[in-house]
């Protein structure tokens, strides 16, 4: 057979693939309709993981498992996107922006313009805000006090890397209050300068957390040197400004668009279940009336059963604890405070009674904020 014969066969296979993909999409839409009718969220990461694992087990090559993972991630992503569009879920989420008071729309975030934090701020508050980039977490938490910003948006946890301890410690040391939260998916891209290609790249720079979340890609390309940097978007700005075709950055698509970088590879992250949760912090306790989530921190006496005794009142009243995280208490070695996320608001009678009971039991209690819980992204 000639090359043209092989190409004709590929063309026929492509048409069959397209037919099957659209057939699969039509079934996915019916699944989305059933989920919406039942009040179930469109995202089901357990099911998605099972699909990908099953396809990898069934794979007989020559495509390797990485190719299968990437192909089915893309298929699942597009299925969720059309499900969300069909149910208007994505447009409803886009319209639900937290409204800031007129004249107080300056929001500080850590990183360079184009960072994931900037993306999160726009998702939560809309394009009308004034964005204030800050180079470090310390300068971020000082932005309200030095009058550079009216609010700050800080990352508090990542679904893979865990709690952002630096931000939590700075929050405890501040007088800021949590009034909102937002969750965004984290997708990493290999970004070069104009004229670069994947084959020319010998070094890549990014924030250490981003590099760690792309270990599989980096292990598969040992010729690429890893270089730790202050932030993801700033890395893109530097490599584009230098014009070095041998150097690339790992960052989000927004950073590539912001600085004119060229995307050389997409979705480098080891896991598609990569999300970061951000908190909107205010100097005022202007908690929203529809708050359904409460964040508190408690410090316990150093005695047997103290943690059990502190958590028991929540269980007795049927209050749902969404998160528990322990941190050392500064200046008191081997003593700990505990961060709790609770389903409810500071106005709920059950919450009020529980916190009163804790204080009577010599448990130091501080309300960090009350806010509307964020939905997991549909895309």
Catalytic residue flag (residue 2): no
pLDDT, position 144: 95
247 with 181, same domain? no
Catalytic, 109? Answer: no
Q: List, for residues 264-285, the tens digit of each pLDDT value.
A: 999 999 888 889 999 999 999 8
pLDDT of residue 183: 93
pTM of the model: 0.73
Do 100 and 177 fall into the same domain? yes
Domain contains 164 = yes
Are residues 201 and 169 located together in one domain of the fold? no
* Same domain (yes/no): 173, 219: no
Domain total in the chain: 4
In this predicted structure, what is the pLDDT of residue 94? 42
Whether residues 200 and 174 share a domain: the answer is no
Weakly modelled stretches of the chain, pLDDT under 50: 90-95
Instruction: Indicate whether 378 belongs to any domain.
Output: no
Q: Are residues 163 and 193 in the same domain?
A: no
Q: What are phi and psi of 318, to 5 degrees?
A: 70, 25
Q: Does residue 202 share a domain with residue 169?
A: no
- Give pLDDT, residue 325: 92
Do 233 and 314 belong together in one domain? no
Instruction: Indicate which residue of 276, 314, 338, 354 is catalytic.
Output: 276
Give the residue numbers spanning the domain of 300.
293-371
pLDDT in tens, 287-320: 888 788 999 999 987 788 888 999 999 999 888 8
The reported pLDDT for the residue numbered 40 is 73
Domain boundary among 223, 252, 282: 282
Catalytic site residue from 141, 278, 287, 338: 278
């Amino acid at each position: 057979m000639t090359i043209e014969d092989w190409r004709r066969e590929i063309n026929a296979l492509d048409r069959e693939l397209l037919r099957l993909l659209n057939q699969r999409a039509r079934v996915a839409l019916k699944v989305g309709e059933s989920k919406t009718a039942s009040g179930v969220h469109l995202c089901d990461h357990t099911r998605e993981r099972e699909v990908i694992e099953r396809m990898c087990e069934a794979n007989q090559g020559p495509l390797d498992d990485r190719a299968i993972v990437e192909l089915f991630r893309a298929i699942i992503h597009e299925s969720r996107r059309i499900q969300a569009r069909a149910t208007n879920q994505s447009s409803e989420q886009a319209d639900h922006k937290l409204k800031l008071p007129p004249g107080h729309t300056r929001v500080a975030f850590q990183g360079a313009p184009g960072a994931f934090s900037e993306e999160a701020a726009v998702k939560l508050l809309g394009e009308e805000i004034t964005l204030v980039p800050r180079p470090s977490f310390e300068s971020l938490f000082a932005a309200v006090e030095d009058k550079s910003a009216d609010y700050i948006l800080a990352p508090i946890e990542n679904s893979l890397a865990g709690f952002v301890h630096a931000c939590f410690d700075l929050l405890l040391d501040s007088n800021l209050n949590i009034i909102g939260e937002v969750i965004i998916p984290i997708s990493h891209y290999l970004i070069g300068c104009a004229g670069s290609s994947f084959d020319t790249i010998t070094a890549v720079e990014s924030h250490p957390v981003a590099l760690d979340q792309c270990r599989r890609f980096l292990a598969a390309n040992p010729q690429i040197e890893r270089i730790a940097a202050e932030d993801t978007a700033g890395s893109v700005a530097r490599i584009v400004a230098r014009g070095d075709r041998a150097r690339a950055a790992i960052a989000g698509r927004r950073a590539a668009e912001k600085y004119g970088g060229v995307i050389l590879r997409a979705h480098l992250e080891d896991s598609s279940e990569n999300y970061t949760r951000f908190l909107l912090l205010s100097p005022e306790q202007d908690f929203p009336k529809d708050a359904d989530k409460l964040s508190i921190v408690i410090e316990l006496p150093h005695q047997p059963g103290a943690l059990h005794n502190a958590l028991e009142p929540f269980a007795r009243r049927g209050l749902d604890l969404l998160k528990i995280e322990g941190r050392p208490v500064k200046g008191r070695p081997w003593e700990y405070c505990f961060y709790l996320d609770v389903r409810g608001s500071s106005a709920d009678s059950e919450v009020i009674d529980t916190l009163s009971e804790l204080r009577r039991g010599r448990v130091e209690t501080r309300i960090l904020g009350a806010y509307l819980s964020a939905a997991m992204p549909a895309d």
